[in-house]
Structure 1
Amino acid sequence: MTNSSTFRLPSRPLGRSSSDVRSAHVIVVGNEKGGAGKSTLAMHLAIALIRMGRTVGAIDLDLRQRTFGRYLSNRARWSEKHGVSLPSPEEGLLAPSVARDLDTAEAEENERFAENVSDLKTRCDYIIVDAPGSDTHYSRLAHSVADTIITPVNDSFVDFDLLAEIDPDTFEVGRPSIYSELVWECRKRKAQQYKTSIDWVVMRNRMTMLDARNKRRVGEGLKTLSQRIGFRLAPGFAERVIYRELFPLGLTLLDLTEDGSTVPFTMSHVAARQELRDLLIVLKLPGLEGEAIPF
């Protein structure tokens, strides 16, 4: 798809565990656009896995906005205020390099990222990385070591343009766009280095209930593109006000029956939980085969 020099991916393996240490499955929630619901997805996936008895590490790579990190901080404050011990992932923290020289800065960030991931791998079954809605060196590093990449996209050709060009007259899918090229390069490099693949899952997120023509066209385009460049399509989360209400509390849909929660549990929330269960089934994460989902 593209020349590998374009991406400046690390030339050596990162975040590899020694043979006597567990090998955590790295899940990167990423695209290069904001507002697709990455942090909400990362948080719900982390809590779901913990409630299934797994240990989870969390890394927020949006070092400026830190939505995922602030979500976790809100959760800790809510737990302390209400005297409730809510399950939470172990957070790994990264800082950007302040070096002016690009090569020096990237070398420093390579080392910091490798140490962070390797440390979490000693204690976690899964590591969930929330990538920023932009192209950064840390984001590229995360994609290069991912085992699973989940890309949430809204039913919009603005989001679709992140994955591929679209003909404005015929709506036919054209060449892959920048983010698809990045994932393609990461998959190729991982296959060469480790003889393993990256499972790429594109998730249609914030789905509207209306059967709009634009929604159908985006769906048809994603199906065509998935066959061309090899990602799997997964059901996403419907557009619900509850996700915005839960963020300042630090809660997820799986916490609404906890003591102290004042959010009424409704049939809409039951349906939302089912969407989360459906996503977990489609992801086919290792270690969860055949296991009942307890929520």
Structure 2
Amino acid sequence: MDAKKKSHIVVWGNAKGGVGKSTLALHFALQCMYEKLSVACFDADGDQGTLFRSIENRRQYCKQQNFSLPVPEIVRFCPSAYETAELSIKDLDLLLQTLENFDVIVIDTQGSDTPLGRYVHQKSSVLVSPITESPLDLDLFVNIREIQEQSHLTLPFGSYAHMVWEQRLNKASQAQEHLEWVVVRNRISHQISRTQLHMEKILKSLAPRVGFHIGPSIGDRSIFRELFSYGLTVMDRDGLTTLAHITARQEIKSMTQYILSLLKKNKY
């Protein structure tokens, strides 16, 4: 990052839950801190509060164990507290302004399509969308039914791809800025399957049309789930030297470097 303070907003978004947004957002935030960047986290899905609770758990764990680990600032934002989307958007902007001196603001979003969620997507410098091997996830990016009916010569957009496309156009017209989009294949099985190869083929075909990058993938490892409840990450436990731990750490580093390279490339 350059010497001049400028917040770079990295949004973790998808139109459904259960894809690993909160887990990867936490790992990305901590890896940025280990790389000497100042980081604030913003849980825009504060009604569920997964990212918020994980960071609070991290703070409590460090206190109980007398550990000195980096802990990012965290803001919990509860959309249900507002009568209208307009009011929630206004307060969200005010809260983000209080974080503008941080190098990176990491935002975790709701797993649904809402007016607030659309606005948060539009605010991003880089949008990161985890996707698992489930056809339910893929259907949000490309309309599987229309592919099966062979009614399109080109891959038809799914609902989430449509939404991101609209927010990208809005950002370009209103702020004259480009929205970079990265799709991260998450919880990838170690055994190559027909479904895995099929999804990889479709995503590679869809990427240039929709305009997203396919970032480094993350394997399906229980260590992510085991550490998350404590607010810990695979970067924190240097004493763990199992192959799964070392590989998971390298995957997070690769993913983080890929996202940061897009920020530097576009001089956000």
TM-score by length of 1: 0.82
1:53 equivalent to 2:36? Answer yes
SS across alignment from 2:177 = coil
Cα distance in 2 for partners of 1:243, 1:173 equals 37
Contact 2:129 2:184 in 1 (8 A): yes
Per-residue CA shift, 1:206-252, capped at 9, x if unaligned? Answer: 00011111110000000111021110001221000111110121110
- Encode CA deviations 1:235-280: one digit per residue, 9 max, x unaligned: 221000111110121110011137xxxxx43121111111112212
| Paired position in structure 2 for 1:241 | 222
- Are residues 38 and 97 of structure 1, via their aligned partners in 2, closer, same or farther at CA, if it must alter by over 3 Å? closer
Gap runs ≥5 in structure 1: 1-20, 259-263, 290-295
Q: How does 1:3-18 map to 2 (within 5 A)?
A: none
Q: 1:286 aligns with which of 254, 257, 263?
A: 263
Aligned residue type for 2:148: P
Asked if structure 2 preserves the Cα contact closer than 8 Å seen for 1:93 and 1:116, the reply is no
Tell me whether 162-171 or 132-141 shows the greater mean CA deviation.
162-171
User: Shift in Å at residue 177 of structure 1?
Assistant: 1.6
Q: Which residue of 1 aligns with 2:241?
A: 265
Using a 3 Å threshold, how does the CA distance of structure 1 residues 43 and 173 change in structure 2: closer, same or farther? farther
Structure 2: any 5+ residue segments left out of the alignment?
Answer: none
Report the AA paired with residue 204 of structure 1.
R
Q: Which amino acid aligns with 1:106?
A: A
Number of positions where the alignment pairs a residue of Structure 1 with one of Structure 2: 259
2:12 maps to 29
Opposite residue 46 of structure 1, the aligned amino acid is A
Separation in structure 1 between the aligned mates of residue 53 and residue 80 of structure 2, nearest angstrom: 21
Q: Provide the rounded CA distance (Å) in 2 between the counterparts of 1:153 and 1:92.
A: 25
User: 1:169, 1:55 → 2: CA distance?
Assistant: 49
CA distance in 2 between counterparts of 1:288 and 1:271 reads 27
Q: Secondary structure at the match of 1:128?
A: strand
Equivalent residues of 2:10, 2:104 under 8 A apart: yes
Which has a greater percent of helix?
2
Deviations 1:22-73 (A, max 9, x none): 3201000000111111011000000000111111110112222211111111
Which whole-Å CA distance do the structure 1 matches of 2:26 and 2:245 have between them?
16
Pairs within 5 Å for 1:102-141: 105-121=84-100, 123-141=101-119
Q: Percent identity?
A: 33
Gap change, CA 1:94 and 1:185, over 3 Å in 2:
same
Correspondences of 1:79-228 after superposition (within 5 Å): 79-96=62-79, 98=81, 100=83, 105-121=84-100, 123-166=101-144, 167-168=147-148, 174-228=155-209
CA 1:245–1:161 in 2, change beyond 3 Å: closer, same or farther?
same
Secondary structure of 1:254's aligned partner: coil
Evaluate the alpha carbon distance shift between residue 97 and residue 272 of structure 1 in structure 2; reply closer, same or farther with a 3 A threshold: closer
- What amino acid is the match of 1:273? R
Distance 1:196 1:88 in 2: 31
Compute the RMSD of aligned alpha carbons.
Answer: 2.1
* Alpha-carbon distance in 2 for matches of 1:187, 1:288: 18
- Superposed structure 1 runs of 4+ greater than 4 Å apart: 97-100, 169-173
Say if 1:280 and 1:96 are closer, same or farther in 2 by CA, change over 3 A: closer
SS across alignment from 2:105 = strand
TM-score of the superposed pair, with normalisation by structure 2: 0.90
**Contact 2:140/2:161 (<8 A) preserved:** yes
* Residues 1:172 and 1:75: Cα distance change in structure 2 (over 3 Å): farther
Letter in 1 for 2:85: E
SS of match in other structure, 1:32: coil
1:277 lines up with 2:257 in the alignment: no
